[in-house]
Structure 1
Amino acid sequence: MSFSTPMGQLLARQTPLIEEGEWLVGPPLDEGLLAGPKLRVWTLDHLIAARWREQGHEVVEGLEPPQMARALLFWPKTMELGRWWLAQLNHHCTPGSALRIVGEHHGGGKRVPKELESRAMRCVKRDNARRCSLYESATVAGDMPDQWGEFEALGLRLISHPGVFGHGRLDDGTAMLIEALPALAGRVLDAGCGDGVLSAWLAQRGAEVTAVDINHLALEATRRTLAANGLEGEVLASNMLTEVEGRFDAIVSNPAFHQERHLSLDPARQLIEQAKNHLSADGVLYLVANGFLPYMAPLQRQFARVDVVAEDRRYRVYRASRR
């Protein structure tokens, strides 16, 4: 069995690989784990949930936790998100429930012992390989801290969370995109909605907004942002446009180009390939990206006309239309 991630490769050294009754919390897409015996998974990522389900595993997707007696937490690259996971497990598991934590050193895994110590949780280092460490601990009684934050931008109240892109600030690329947008009426899709700033800005100006993201924290942030501003919109979990139905007068996006610490153009390329089939005859795609990312050629393959409508040393805003 071949394990495709460093954390999976470290776990492959363990006997047993997965403890009986253990839930995998926030796992990556590791081919060795996916192809192995059926497991139980809790994830906030809609794409990851779909892949685990395809392989026949039991999956709980979203912010509502399953009932767990023991858990294996895959430490995320964002420390605040790791702290959120720990708080969730301590709050929802019976105190003393078995907990293992595996993390990559460059992704914050080295700091796990201090995080456990700060919560009076025991910490035993069980293994170290592939620049990863595996720790053994147990849950303790704990309250669930409110990590949701609020900030203002563009005359809007924006609700944010450490696990959401651009947490606590307006991203410069998104700001450029908004400045370049004309008045958009009718049905508008916000692909990769993050904290909901684009959705709220568009809804405030009369657009009928649908917002999609694979991250359930982002979806909840968008719902809260819309509600905080007295606005309405449909919010859906979707891998770009995979779960989206119907056509739109405009699609707007600041697509992610990182998966963990690796550069990935897949989300943007997937959006570009799918967008044409979800736009009305006169519909338009607006996309902002770092200037070094090679999106012009994929856009020109899918659309009759592609223009750069705004640009600086860092970002570029594309406008693509079917005719």
Structure 2
Amino acid sequence: MTAVTPACQLLERQPEDYRDWLWVAPPEDPWLNDQSGSLWSTDLNVAQAWRERGATVYDDLAPAITDVPGAVLFWPKAHALGEWWLLALCAQLPEGTRLQIVGENQGGIRRVLKILAALGLGCRRLDNARRCMLFETRLGRVSLAPDDAWTTFEALDLQLASHPGIFGHGKLDSGTALLLDNLPESLNLAGANILDVGCGDGVISAWLARQGAKTTAVDSSSFAVEATRRTLTANGLSGNALQSDVYSALPEGERFDAIISNPPFHQERAIDYSPAARLIREAPRHLEKSGYLILVANAFLPYPDLLEATFDGFEILADDRRFRVYMARKR
């Protein structure tokens, strides 16, 4: 199939035989469907798609990867995340393994040269087209470890674990703060069974658990699931964190007193409303009778119509002109 993303279009024109290579953090692109090899991705949806076509998939943060002839890393827009991938590849693959790094100019791919130099790894440019660049290096032992990318910060009297691969890295999101400050008094948190969708660093789950709620946290990112687990542990709190495509990992028939969320609407630079749309449309199936769906979103996002169609009504609990907190209740 023909490539559609600029990075894959650049790879498509290479003379390299990528047979049995490891594809690292790739986008969804039809050209990759025709490539052999294995996948390392922390994105659940990408991992599932590769599994469905029979590929070997590594989806945790420190997998035991069998020897591969080479690897291709798709450089992310967050440079700190790209640095983590480089450190992780150096830790998981043998010294001397070929690594190609591809990315868009507007995503900062040129910074790869300085980052590789700082790690003591050589580099050469292979190609430049489609507003993308392709570099090659060979992996080696470096002084930094992937775990060095994890940090902690304090917010709402909680110690929060953070990683470059999650939303709001290193700070409390203003929308999340508005959400937690405006939960309705009618929601009795003590003993309530609550689902946190799009858990990120785990701040919502930890805050709710501290109020006595039983929390389940889900996110499609391995980084977010691990961050939430670390956050709960750091604060001496209990809760369950699962990698899930919205509701996909939940046990059949499990119902919650409330679903509380700051849902994502970006996939890299692209706007993607589909996870939030499924969060809203499928919420009634996962709520107890009279259960709440409470979410915060940028004021411009088109969620009111979805809430009205799904719940036949909703309330706005807070609006600071940038964010709105919506509440809908299952009848």
TM range (shorter): over 0.9
Structure 1 residue 10 corresponds to structure 2 residue 16: no
Secondary structure of 2:149 counterpart:
coil
C-alpha separation in 1, matches of 2:244 and 2:95:
35
> Match for 1:260 among 264, 268, 280?
268
Secondary structure of 2:166 counterpart:
coil
Counterpart of 1:231, as a letter, is L
**Equivalent position of 1:157 in the other structure:** 159
> Match for 1:201 among 207, 212, 216?
207
C-alpha separation in 2, matches of 1:190 and 1:78:
24
Structure 1 residue 166 corresponds to structure 2 residue 168: yes
**Equivalent position of 1:282 in the other structure:** 290
Counterpart of 1:24, as a letter, is W
Percent of paired sites with the same residue:
49
**Equivalent position of 1:97 in the other structure:** 97
State the Cα deviation string for residues 148-187 of structure 1 (Å, max 9, x = none). Answer: 1111111111111111111111100000000011343421
RMSD: 1.3
Alignment of 1:11-50 (within 5 A): 11-18=11-18, 20-34=19-33, 36-50=34-48
* Contact 2:20/2:36, CA 8 A, preserved across alignment: no
Q: TM-score, normalised by structure 1?
A: 0.96
Q: Which ranges of structure 2 fall in alignment gaps of 5 or more residues? A: none
Structure 1 residue 120 corresponds to structure 2 residue 120: yes
C-alpha separation in 1, matches of 2:246 and 2:101:
30
C-alpha separation in 2, matches of 1:270 and 1:8:
29
C-alpha separation in 2, matches of 1:239 and 1:84:
24
Per mean C-alpha deviation after superposition, the further-off stretch among 206-215 and 67-76 is: 67-76
* Contact 2:21/2:36, CA 8 A, preserved across alignment: no
C-alpha separation in 2, matches of 1:147 and 1:126:
29
State the Cα deviation string for residues 95-128 of structure 1 (Å, max 9, x = none). Answer: 2111111111111212111111111211111111
Secondary structure of 2:200 counterpart:
coil
Secondary structure of 2:314 counterpart:
strand
Counterpart of 1:314, as a letter, is R
State the Cα deviation string for residues 54-113 of structure 1 (Å, max 9, x = none). Answer: 222221112122234421111111000000001111122222111111111111212111
C-alpha separation in 2, matches of 1:140 and 1:64:
17
State the Cα deviation string for residues 7-59 of structure 1 (Å, max 9, x = none). Answer: 111111012352x331001111111112x143200001111111121222221
Structure 1 residue 219 corresponds to structure 2 residue 225: yes
* Contact 1:305/1:322, CA 8 A, preserved across alignment: no
Report how many residues are paired: 321
* Contact 2:62/2:88, CA 8 A, preserved across alignment: no
Counterpart of 1:171, as a letter, is D
* Contact 1:22/1:68, CA 8 A, preserved across alignment: no
State the Cα deviation string for residues 126-149 of structure 1 (Å, max 9, x = none). Answer: 111111111111011124151111
Moved beyond 6 Å, runs of 4+: none
Q: Which ranges of structure 1 fall in alignment gaps of 5 or more residues? A: none
